[in-house]
Structure 1
Amino acid sequence: METFSSIECFVRSAEVGSFAEAARRLSLTPAAVGKSVAKLEARLGVRLFQRSTRSLTLTEAGQLFLSQVSASLTNIQNAVAHLANAQGRPAGTLKVSMGTVFGRLYVVPLLGEFLRRYPEINPDWHFDNRQVDLIGQGFDAAIGGGFELPPGVVARKLAPAHRVLLASAEYLQEHPAITEPEDLQHHDGILIRSPQTGRVRSWQLTGHSPQHCRPLTLKVRMTMSDSDAACATAAQGLGIALVSMPFAANYLEAGTLQRVLPDWYIDDGSISIYYAEHKLLPGKTRAFVDFIIEQFAEQGLGQRFSAI
């Protein structure tokens, strides 16, 4: 068991390049992680890391050892997690990442029902609009859209990721009519910065036919890092907002905002739930994935989030 613990300390340290960060993720002290790795090196008779005051890098032997034990360690931990349940039910800490406002609006309201079904699961939910390193940061699952799919991660589609143009009735009454996408160049835009790059992306508007596309020519009047804030700004009559349907839906249904060019939208892929690809998925993760897919289907969120 001591050797297993030492191997886990070694693998996590190699993944993040730091004893201190590995210690944080393992709920240990940096000294304890360093000591555990040193014991493993002594047992193997080789140096696994080159250490300096600022960096921690694998030796050639360390790289070889990591390639041999990393996958096995994951399989063992998943097998333990799969069996570690109370009275046959999924149990354990469930670490999930999701967008801040999206999570609050559509995932947090599901928490009560989820815990009634799985009372032995302890949610550890992180709200962030940036893509996380699902495997490297130890997340069981993530919910979001437009994420790159790294090796070892699978995605299950929950809903389309459509973006639409919104404005208040006041703004539309006081500004030139908009009947074609080209008319947008004369209007003030409220656009969202990418959380990854901090920049405003270039978009293509899609009509009823996927082949019928036009560039978005909306002038950048202001930028926001939050879609709900962009909707609230548009509701003040300050411009036309381009936002995702999950954030637009409540404003549209309340009549606070209106679709601009309702026959046009931006297709940004899918909103999905992401998790590590394992033959033996931990029971807590499988329960959460199946529950979220079920709830999105029952509540018709896929249809609600569609701009078509």
Structure 2
Amino acid sequence: METLMGLDCFVRSAEAGSFAEAARRLGITPAAVGKNVAKLEASVGVRLFQRSTRSLTLTEAGERFLLEVRGGLSSIQHAVANLASSAGQPAGTLKVSMGVTFGRDYVLPMLDTFLQRYPAITPDWHFDNSPVDLIAQGFDAAISGAMDLSPGVVARKLAPARRVLVASARYLDTRSPVSVPGDLAQHTGILIRSPQTGRVRPWTLRNLSNAEVAIELPARITMTDPDAACRTAEMGLGIALVSLPHALPYLDQGSLLRVLPNWYVDAGHIAVYFSAHKLLPAKTRAFVDCLVEHFESQNLAERFSC
């Protein structure tokens, strides 16, 4: 197991470009990472990294070694994870990434059932709206509406990803009617700015007949958080374009209303992403299956479909 830890530290350090970042991803100290890598180098008799105060780069031998061990290390880790299951049941720490509001409202409610069914699994759930590198950051799974399928990662669809226009009754009662998409140009827009790119993405509305039209809603207010956008719309300050899962609690309680209810933005699918490896850890498979079951029992796919 000591050699396995050394290999893991080596691969993570090579991917991250530093012992400090590798340590953060592994949950240990930078000194421990450096020590494990040094032991591995002593064991194989080859220097794997060129170290300086400012950088950490692979030697030529290190680059060859990384290509040879990366895939095999993943196979061994998954096999060990399955062997380590408690009394034949899924076990171990389950590291999952999900959005803050989405995870709290739609994933967290399944936790009690999940723990009762799999008591040997320890959830390590990260609520963060930033995209993650599933493999490089050591996540077992991630739930997202827009994630690149990098090599070694697969997705299982959970529900449609739709965006809708919402506003408060107070706002709509004091402004000109919105009967067709073209009317939006005369209104106040509350739009979402990507925290990654800093841009407000142009979206296209679609109706049930698959007609499409560009959204022309002046961006009077921009937010990076969809829940904040919903609350701003709730205050009567404009029309917000937000994902339906974020809008649903406000729609259900009646504090927001759909604007142009026959129109929506098709943003693909909400999915759970995980390793494509054949030896998928039992804990990850258990989580994915339980998540799919939860979405089905709560009828979330239909609720998110507009």
Give me the TM-score of the superposition, normalised by structure 2: 0.96
What are structure 2's unaligned runs of at least 5 residues? none
Q: For residue 35 of structure 1, report the CA deviation from its aligned partner.
A: 2.8
Amino acid paired to 1:265? Y
Amino acid paired to 1:70? R
Match of residue 272 from structure 2: 273
Match of residue 79 from structure 2: 79
Match of residue 204 from structure 1: 204
Q: For residue 299 of structure 1, report the CA deviation from its aligned partner.
A: 0.9
Match of residue 215 from structure 1: 214
- Structure 1 SS opposite 2:82: helix
1:111-122 matches, within 5 Å, as 111-122=111-122
Amino acid paired to 2:277? H
Tell me which moved more, 269-278 or 169-178.
169-178
Match of residue 53 from structure 1: 53
Does the 8 Å contact 2:188/2:218 carry over to 1?
A: yes
Match of residue 167 from structure 1: 167
Matches of 1:293 and 1:249, distance apart in 2: 20
The answer to whether residue 249 in structure 2 is matched with residue 246 in structure 1 is no
- Structure 1 SS opposite 2:235: coil
Match of residue 36 from structure 2: 36
Q: For residue 185 of structure 1, report the CA deviation from its aligned partner.
A: 0.7
Matches of 2:251 and 2:165, distance apart in 1: 11
Q: For residue 39 of structure 1, report the CA deviation from its aligned partner.
A: 3.0
Amino acid paired to 1:247? H
Matches of 2:29 and 2:298, distance apart in 1: 45
Give the paired residue count: 306
1:1-308 matches, within 5 Å, as 1-210=1-210, 212-307=211-306
Matches of 1:224 and 1:143, distance apart in 2: 22
Matches of 1:110 and 1:33, distance apart in 2: 35
Matches of 2:263 and 2:159, distance apart in 1: 18
Does the 8 Å contact 2:158/2:271 carry over to 1?
A: yes
- Structure 1 SS opposite 2:263: coil
- Structure 1 SS opposite 2:9: helix
Amino acid paired to 1:295? H
Matches of 1:27 and 1:231, distance apart in 2: 36
- Structure 2 SS opposite 1:223: strand
Tell me which moved more, 7-16 or 260-269.
7-16
Matches of 1:24 and 1:57, distance apart in 2: 18
Q: For residue 19 of structure 1, report the CA deviation from its aligned partner.
A: 1.4
Tell me which moved more, 259-268 or 28-37.
28-37
- Structure 1 SS opposite 2:129: coil
Matches of 1:61 and 1:293, distance apart in 2: 44
Alpha carbons of structure 1 residues 106 and 69: separation in structure 2 relative to 1, 3 Å? same
Alpha carbons of structure 1 residues 304 and 38: separation in structure 2 relative to 1, 3 Å? same
- Structure 2 SS opposite 1:137: coil
Q: For residue 88 of structure 1, report the CA deviation from its aligned partner.
A: 1.3
Amino acid paired to 1:71? G
- Structure 2 SS opposite 1:147: coil
Matches of 2:26 and 2:258, distance apart in 1: 48
Q: For residue 276 of structure 1, report the CA deviation from its aligned partner.
A: 1.0
Matches of 1:237 and 1:154, distance apart in 2: 41
